[in-house]
Amino acid sequence: MDTPAAVPDPADVDKYLVEKLLAPEPEMAKARERAHAAGLPHIEVSEVQGKFLMLLAQIAGARRVLEIGTLGGYSTTWLARGVGPDGHVTTCEYEPLHARVAADNLAACGVEDRVDIRIGAALDTLDALLAEGGEPFDLVFIDADKENNGHYIDLAIALGRSGSVIVVDNVVREGAVLRPGDPLSEAGRMVNGVRQGIDVLGSNPRLDATALQTVGAKGWDGFALAVVR
């Protein structure tokens, strides 16, 4: 009788895909190491997800990208590559330490000239961007405090245009999104924020949206994707 094959580890599959599809990125790897050494949480997008964001920006023809949640600048770097040398990324980060680490990483990866890091509460930064009345953003990547996802999506619509792409990370949370969370716990509030964001994506008449579950080095989660009508 044949021995049943072991179930592959999703993290190992990610490693295989990175080896097959991504060129070696020593500076990007060092950027992750710097962020972790500085004490930043290990919650940045994976390598294959970062490349996905870059390609999505290229497919959308994005020249102006808004990112909500910079962390150590890993996803920011991929998005900056996606917009190209003539494009621009505005990224919002609440923690000054995270912003400093991100600035160092962006410089090391050679894209600092196309990125503007705005430090402070993202809701305040987004309101300020609205008041500035600049050109609309072509793509918005939302990956910050989940409790405000609904507000971030509303503001992304206001800061975008017809055809703008909105991407929201961490919308499955190992299936926890199926049920309301405990509002007295941080994890529960994050789940409730994700659920509120999904409600906005599904009910706002200006959006056409879907979501995909993902599994890999970051476990079981997912992306939501929407286009502004």
Q: What is the pLDDT at residue 7?
A: 85
In order along its 229 residues, the chain shows pLDDT tens digits of 566 678 899 999 999 999 999 999 999 999 999 999 999 999 999 999 999 999 999 999 999 999 999 999 999 999 999 999 999 999 999 999 999 999 999 999 999 999 999 999 999 999 999 999 999 999 999 999 999 999 999 999 999 999 999 999 999 999 999 999 999 999 999 999 999 999 999 999 999 999 999 999 999 999 999 999 9
Give the H or E element holding residue 67: strand 64-68
pLDDT digits (tens, 9 = 90+) for 119-152: 999 999 999 999 999 999 999 999 999 999 999 9
Structure token digits, residue 174 = 């190992």
The domains of the chain are located at 24-228
Residue with tokens 């503001």: 155
Cα separation, 139 vs 48, in Å, equals 19
Q: Whole-model pTM above 0.85?
A: yes
- What angle (nearest 5°) sits at the alpha carbon of residue 170, between those of residues 167 and 172? 115
pLDDT digits (tens, 9 = 90+) for 16-44: 999 999 999 999 999 999 999 999 999 99
Residue 99 falls in which region: left (phi positive, over 0), alpha (psi -120 to 50) or beta: alpha
What's phi and psi for 2, nearest 5 deg?
Answer: -70, 140
Is the separation of the CB atoms in 34 and 2 below 8 Å? Answer: no
By DSSP bridging, strand 139-142 and strand 207-216 are unpaired
Residue 120 falls in which region: left (phi positive, over 0), alpha (psi -120 to 50) or beta: left
3-state secondary structure of 219: strand
The DSSP secondary-structure symbol of 184 reads T
Query: In the beta sheet, which residues pair with residue 212?
Result: 223
The DSSP secondary-structure symbol of 148 reads G
- 24-228 falls under which CATH superfamily? Vaccinia Virus protein VP39 (3.40.50.150)
Contacts of 36 by beta carbon, 8 Å cutoff, 6+ apart: 42
CB burial of 57-74 (b: ≥16 within 10 Å; e: otherwise) equals beebebbbbbbbbbbbbb
